[in-house]
Structure 1
């Protein structure tokens, strides 16, 4: 399969993932609003997510957990949206261009924001466990390596743009 077709397939996959995350985000938000009127709904918010212990402890802790999940999902959806934009903007005749570099920098910044939001979310979960003995699984922070990879890729693109501009000046 040639590279253009592979990129188109990856572009479609990115959009499917983005829509899937947005649906999950919407499901959690709708379930949250339903649980305000009916506290029993907090036992099965979305795909078996049970936050009833946090709800019984404090509506503020419960709301913070839901808000944290929504923020994390929103940032993930935005990152995948940026990846889809990156794949769409690839120009095969001039692969190194400032538009792609700008999108890569936005992806990198968004991943760093996701990392910080995840740390804050996990601090809250650790607090709930330590003070109230309520245990929930921590959110993963494995994507810090992805930030480094995107930064390296951005540096390569920046250097490629410089070389491309030098070549245009010499012609």
Structure 2
């Protein structure tokens, strides 16, 4: 059985849907738990994935909500990233006859910007968490807060920007070839 591009794209679409749903649930979990913390601070010990931020809430409510905001922003950006992936696959903007087109170039630049923002907010969250630990607040590891890996996201954004520039040049060459024929 031969693995075709169409079959591979269908498998990737299914995986993208699964990841998208998971990241949406995670983002919703962070946001909803932040609001539950307003109503009943006792639930903070049982936040999303048992991430105990009760020491931070007792230390300062504003710092707690800043940390929750950073965690939520990173999760929402990840969901947005997979939304764009699903959208371009559903819209069938992949023209394999002429892969260098404006829609794909715009898509690559959009996901490059989103991955850069994920890296930036993750880095900010790690630094903020480190600052809170320096203030004497007991904090879980940044991996449990879903803020780790900022360097990987930033590296991926640079890689995507380079690929986006290649696609931009490919669109220009394709347009020049169409004009000369």
Scaled by the length of structure 1, what TM-score is found?
A: 0.92
Checking the alignment, whether the CA contact within 8 Å between 2:100 and 2:174 is kept in structure 1 is yes
Task: State the 4+ residue runs in structure 1 displaced beyond 6 angstroms.
Answer: none
Selected match of 1:127 from 115, 126, 131: 131
Checking the alignment, whether the CA contact within 8 Å between 2:13 and 2:86 is kept in structure 1 is yes
- Deviation string for 1:15-54 (max 9, x for gaps)? 2211211111112222222222221100011121111111
Q: Say if 2:164 is the partner of 1:154.
A: yes
List alignment gaps of at least 5 residues for structure 2: none
Corresponding residue of 2:179: 169
5 Å-filtered alignment, 1:107-126, equals: 107-126=111-130
Which SS does the other structure have where 1:8 is aligned? helix
List alignment gaps of at least 5 residues for structure 1: none
Q: Which moved more, 1:160-169 or 1:67-76?
A: 160-169
> Structure 1 residue 133: deviation in Å?
4.0
Q: Say if 2:102 is the partner of 1:98.
A: yes
Q: CA RMSD in A?
A: 1.5
Corresponding residue of 1:71: 73
Q: Which moved more, 1:90-99 or 1:28-37?
A: 28-37
Corresponding residue of 1:40: 42
Please give the alpha-carbon distance, in whole angstroms, between the structure 2 residues aligned to 1:85 and 1:30. 26
Checking the alignment, whether the CA contact within 8 Å between 1:86 and 1:104 is kept in structure 2 is no
